[in-house]
Structure 1
Amino acid sequence: MRKKLLLALFAIPIIANAQFFQNFDAATTLPAGWTALNGGDTDTWAIVNYTGGNINAYSGTNTASIAYGSTAHDDYLVTPAITVTAGVSDFLSFYARSRDPLYPETISVKVSTTTPTAAAFTNTLAASVAPASGAGFYKYSYDLSAYAGQTIYIGFYSSTTDMFFFDIDDVFNGAIPACDVPTSIVVNSVSSNSANISWTASSTAGATYQVEYGPTGFTQGSGTVINSTAASATISPLSASTAYQFYVRSSCGTNGFSVWTPVQSFATTCASVTAFPYTQNFDNTTIPSCWANEAVTGGGTDTWTYMTANGNSSITPKSAPRMAEFRTTTAGNKARLLMPPLNISGLATPELRFSLANTNWFGDVDELRIFYKANAGDAWTQIGSSYTTENAAWLDVSIPLPNKSANYMIAFEGTSNWARGINVDDVSVVDASVLGVNDVVKNSNGIKVYPNPARDFVNIASDKKISSIEILSLTGQLIKTVDKDSKQADISELKRGSIF
């Protein structure tokens, strides 16, 4: 039995018009002038609303759709009457989708020159409309000029058996356009102050383009207009952390413009952090401003949260009242906690610092890895160690940041092994070269190590008995042992930046 999408279907008929644009968004019943002729099984054309679903309409919220049935369809979705007039209503276009590649739905497009009844659809505009199956829509256009002077009806006809869903949206009847409407619009390289957009070039030689944009909700005609000779444009300057909308149309000079595309949307990123040291202690119940969760596996349902204790209450925040945590009930699921973009180009010795704890559960330990991008379009690259062993108390970590840039990104990637969780607190990005020589590193057991950074010696102080002193590399390798009763460690022979 094929799995059905959980989408509500509602039917109803009737009414009439000429020269129209219909996106089926006004109601969950067929619009005025439209008719569904049900001549086969019980399933027929109806309106589908996608609000809250896992796929979308081409524009707005609704489509006209027909669902599969175990017996053959014999169904028409019929437009309002069209009086075909040259230069006024001699053109038809629509967007169509066949949802499932394993069960491809197709339709035909037919014409009646008399009445909106099944037997009257004796002319064929397209014998087979078969869009590539999937979530995307494809545009279909037809010249009606052969019917000039006549009143006609267009019938979208389905006769398939036990396929899936066929969806129609944005049906347009009007004049043959002077230019193609831009399609396949892509938004990429979105930053805090700009976004790049592109689309499929018009088939009309010499066509140019206009883009109109503004903050989400702006009234078209009041936005900013960009003219472009290429099938792409950069929208700039923009405000950081702001949602925008835009439209695109083609221009064919003296022949005029195409219609505008349906509205498109994007949101700019946060502006890069420029003040250092930058710190975050996760003191609220929600994700910090300009931070983000990025799903790696698990479908995006598992994210970092902000807790007062870990899974068995053995770890509490390093800095009260909360800490970041990644913990799931599904082993292998991963999610990244992304810091805001950072402008570390001016830091002499940029360094990431944070505290980590990950308590085991019957030997299982959740894992942490740190990744960076020097630029938003780069691939993630791991830095520092893979923290795959237990830290039952807070571990203070320092990682030098390579390839510094003005749009640097850092991600904390948690991997679930169904343990007590990965806990992170006291995150900071600092310029290690400007920290004072009296800076002190103090771990959760009250042991003080100073100065930080140090050149030749570090001092070790504790009011507790120390059983051993070991110096580790940034990758966790043992590089030096120190007498447990020593109050000072000689590090003069070690490489600069090699320990933490």
Structure 2
Amino acid sequence: MRTKLLFALLAMPIIANAQFTQNFDAGTTIPAGWTVLNGGDANTWSIVNYTGGTITAYSGANTASIGYSSSAHDDYLVTPAITVTAGVSDFLSFYARSRDPLYPETISVKISTTTPTAAAFTTNLAATVAPPSGANFYKYSYDLSAYVGQTIYIGFHSATTDKFYFDLDDISLGALPACAPPSIVTINSVLPTSANISWTASPTAGATYQIEYGPTGFTQGTGTIITSSTTSAVIPNLSASTGYQFYIRSNCGTNGFSAWSAANSFTTICAPIASFPYTQNFDAATIPSCWANEAVTGGGTATWSYVTANGNSSITPKSAPRMAEFRTTTPGNKAKLLLPVLNISAVASPELRFSLANVNWFGDVDELRIYYKANPSDAWTQIGSSYTTENAAWIDVSIPLPNKSANYTIAFEGTSNWARGVDIDNVSVVDASVLAVNDITKNNTDVKVYPNPVKDVLNINSDKKLNSIQIFSMTGQLIRTIDKDAKQVSVSDLKKGVYLLRVKSEGKDQSFKVVKD
């Protein structure tokens, strides 16, 4: 049975004709005149106090918040009745937070023009309010001028299942600004010489935008100004490996400018590496210069670390004193470790090489996958196979790189299964020119694969014992498993194209780019 209203609906509502700000700091219960409608699970909107905690309210000590449940919410936090008056109470703003990036909470903002009951909230003022998850609050603003002369209720509606916490603070009703500022500034991507940013539009119709930017700490009024008629912009003409700040404001024409936003900061990435071989042995306790961490959706917040031994000290760095490792105590955690951007456009046969170890713990094995982007705007694409079985000692891995470009990015993605860690060392990007379309003889290997291109039969010669032979698509799909003792492989039935031949032997895991003619 649905929970009854926290406050009796028959009570006389408070009519808000004037401006107000509600910060929920007056007490530990929902303020007088406000209503909670609990139509779903047992959890509903309540007051949370942050005194002594690790996070804070936006202002004061309290927020109005709703917490997770394994059953769906259908809960409203409802304002007192508001008689919308032009120039007095025709503008709504509030600050919102979704606390956990692994379980992102959202709400909607709805209008009732009749009664503060769930069925009466039939109009969406905002169908989805989804602040970036974390400890920060983000401001949201809405024009209520369409309701001038009407008495309305505003309902903050939660309908999520098994997420975490959504917090509201400083809900404000006031006069519609002549020029309202934009909000929710997002830094989408940062390159060596530019940054792509976006923001939520100003509630003032027809607004355009100014962005002022400069080096970190620059004085406003001395920076470079660019304009945008949309809600995004590219900040150009930047220097690599440099910190910058920027501000945004609305331009409302005859109504002037809004206030500037708060300062937003970013640091441009390093210029693409164009000299090869490039090597990295992880000799420091921190992430190498120009490398980066990238979270994986649903993969937790853990990142790669730089260690002197794995989880049970059975693996030590192949190149002392340290190695890169991904290891957590939570199965399913994932994170990408990104190499610097590479300019491999002029490299005849670019190849990634590294050493890998991943020791099991009671049968569980941490996993590794390799991804690449030929361009910053591309989606990640897996290259080669997945490394999901144990390597209790170091093996040397080599993977040819497809779709070479001037802004190439490679990522090592670790997946935790609560084992002893996935460890990599001695990473290099080289020009393996012997991997061209004539016969292949790889440097530092006893395996020879020929002819290449191949039409019917591929020969595999090695003076070492082979443990497995597999053919993959260039994006990691297993095409065929071949007898490990095979010396000749028929490929006449394969479609024309480029494949990876993966050959595992003692201490080596090598991939050969093979062109099927």
Write the mapping of 1:389-400 to structure 2, written as runs, cut at 5 A. 389-400=389-400
Q: 1:392 to 1:255 in 2, by over 3 A?
A: closer
**Residues 1-54 of structure 1: CA deviation (Å, up to 9, x unaligned):** xxxxxxxxxxxxxxxxxxx99999xxx989xxxxx987899x99999799954x
Say which SS state the counterpart of residue 433 (structure 2) adopts. Answer: helix
Q: List gaps (5 residues or longer) in structure 2.
A: 1-18, 36-44, 67-76, 99-104, 113-122, 132-138, 160-164, 453-458, 473-480, 489-510
- Say if 2:428 is the partner of 1:428: yes
Q: Distance in 2 between matches of 1:404 and 1:64?
A: 53
- Give the direction of change, closer, same or farther, for the CA distance of 1:360–1:285 in structure 2 (3 Å limit): same
User: Relative to 1, partners in 2 of residues 1:92 and 1:216: Cα closer, same or farther, differing over 3 Å?
Assistant: farther
Quote the residue 1:215 is aligned against.
215
Structure 2 distance, partners of 1:185, 1:98, is 14
Tell which structure's C-alpha radius of gyration is larger: 1
Deviation per residue, 1:277-308 (Å, 9 max, x gap):
11111111222122223333664333322222
Equivalent of 2:94 in 72, 96, 106: 96
Query: Quick one: structure 1 residues 62 and 49, their matched pair in 2 at CA, closer, same or farther if it must change by over 3 Å?
Result: farther
* Amino acid aligned to 1:95: S
With the length of structure 1 as denominator, give the TM-score of the two structures: 0.62
1:406 alignment partner AA: A
**Structural mapping, 1:348-387, within 5 Å:** 348-387=348-387
**Unmatched segments (≥5 aa) in structure 1:** 1-19, 31-35, 77-83, 109-127, 147-156, 442-447, 461-465, 483-494
CA root-mean-square deviation: 5.6
Q: How far has the Cα of 1:469 moved from its partner?
A: 5.8
Residue in structure 1 matched with residue 168 of structure 2 by the alignment: 167
2:353 is paired with a residue of what secondary structure?
strand
Q: How far, CA to CA, are the matches of 2:256 and 2:106 in structure 1?
A: 42
Report Cα offsets for 1:399-450 as digits up to 9, x if no partner: 1000011111111122233332222111100111289x99962xxxxxx749
Letter aligned with residue 167 of structure 1: L
| C-alpha separation in 2, matches of 1:248 and 1:168 | 23
Structure 1 pair 91–380 and aligned structure 2 pair: CA distance change class (3 A) = same
- 8 A Cα contact 2:50 2:57, kept in partner: no
Letter in 2 for 1:140: Y
Matched positions, count: 406
- CA contact under 8 A between 1:315 and 1:357: conserved in structure 2? yes
Residue 307 of structure 1: aligned partner = 307
TM-score (norm 2): 0.60
Preserved CA contact (<8 Å) 1:209 1:229: yes
1:287 and 2:326 aligned: no
Once structures 1 and 2 are overlaid, which stretch shifts more, 448-457 or 243-252? 448-457
Offset, 1:356: 1.2
Between the aligned partners of 2:365 and 2:91, the Cα distance in structure 1 is: 57
Correspondence 1:97-496 to 2 at 5 A = 135-136=130-131, 137-141=139-143, 167-169=168-170, 176-177=177-178, 179-183=179-183, 185-199=185-199, 207-296=207-296, 299-433=299-433, 441=444, 449=446, 468=465, 472=469, 477=482, 478=484, 480=486
Checking the alignment, whether the CA contact within 8 Å between 1:473 and 1:498 is kept in structure 2 is no
Whether contact under 8 Å (2:282, 2:322) holds in the other structure is yes
Percent identity between the aligned chains? 54
- How far apart, CA to CA, are the structure 1 residues paired with 2:167 and 2:54? 19
Q: Are the aligned partners of 1:385 and 1:474 in contact in 2 as well (CA < 8 Å)? A: no
Pair 166,244 (structure 1): closer, same or farther in 2 beyond 3 Å? same
* Inter-partner Cα distance in structure 2 for 1:237 and 1:23: 44
Q: Distance in 2 between matches of 1:159 and 1:201?
A: 22
Q: Distance in 1 between matches of 2:346 and 2:275?
A: 11
